[in-house]
Amino acid sequence: MGLRMRLKEVMEMTGLSRSTIYLQMSKEKFPKQVKLAGSRSAGWYEDAVVEWVESRRQA
């Protein structure tokens, strides 16, 4: 997997709000978060988010 992205970066890339991202995650329609090493923070793999964005463009 690629780089890990924080919420702000994911929001900018997808154009989605924080609440929409978490709603889509709860419906298993958005990539799951992963824990960032050495911290209590979480993020997303950039590859997974890019793949999700591209799949939305094709739909």
Q: pLDDT (tens digit, 9 = 90+) per residue, 7-48? A: 999 999 999 999 999 999 999 999 999 987 788 889 999 999
State the total domains in the chain: 1
**pLDDT in the model for residue 1:** 64
State yes or no: pLDDT of 49 exceeds 70: yes
* Distance, CA of 13 to CA of 25 (rounded, Å): 16
Q: Could you list the residue range(s) of the whole structural domain that residue 20 is in?
A: 4-58
**pLDDT in the model for residue 37:** 78
State yes or no: pLDDT of 59 exceeds 80: no
Cα-only R_g, the chain: 11
